[in-house]
Amino acid sequence: MRTTRALAAAGAAVAVLALGAPAAVAWDTPSNIVALPSVIARGGQMTVTVDGCPRGGTMTSNAFPSTPLSPINGANETSKGTAAINGNARPGSYDITVNCSGRSLTRPAAFTVIGGVRGGFGGSSSSGATPADVAIGSALVTAAVIGGGVFWMRRRAERRI
């Protein structure tokens, strides 16, 4: 029973090392694409970082034009770029393709573009208080003053008894 557990633990350790070795060797090619934020509105700016891209390159997508990647100082083999999402991009998932030193990598469904919000009538066109807001606020303040006055008068009347 103990030898079975020891063999299982040793096999798991060998599997972890075997799976980690190809990732450690592949630093001369783009290996990881991270888009932040991963959900973005049309017209927004997104930052993309790429591991295994030491001299920079370019990134492309159907949601933004070709954008340069610049190496990050102090971060070995990593480049970064900022892309502006097209204002006419349709909502949905988009891929990012990175080209570094003649090698390319595509990350499918790297980010999602969301559409605009259909706000309707309430709060969508004013930059301050509307006449209706002022009327409602005035009515609430008036009700509070009257209620406070009634409460104060009632407490005053109770003292006389």
Residue-level pLDDT at 120: 58
**pLDDT tens per residue across span 89-105:** 999 999 999 998 888 99
Q: What are phi and psi of 77, to 5 degrees?
A: 65, 20
**How large is the average pLDDT for residues 5-18?**
45
**pLDDT tens per residue across span 108-131:** 999 999 976 555 555 555 567 788
Fold of 28-114: Immunoglobulin-like (2.60.40)
Q: What is the mean pLDDT of the chain?
A: 79
The reported pTM is 0.55
Rounded Cα–Cα distance for residues 38 and 49 (Å): 12
Residue-level pLDDT at 92: 93
Rounded Cα–Cα distance for residues 60 and 97 (Å): 5
Domain ranges of the chain: 28-114
DSSP string, the chain: -HHHHHHHHHHHHHHHHHHHHHHHH-TTS--EEEEESSEEETT-EEEEEEET-TT-EEEEETTEEEEEEEEPTTSTTEEEEEEEPPTTPPSEEEEEEEEETTEEEEEEEEEEEE------STTSS-SS--HHHHHHHHHHHHHHHHHHHHHHHHHHHHHH-
Q: By C-alpha distance, which of 130, 136, 89 is closest to 113? A: 89
Residue-level pLDDT at 124: 52
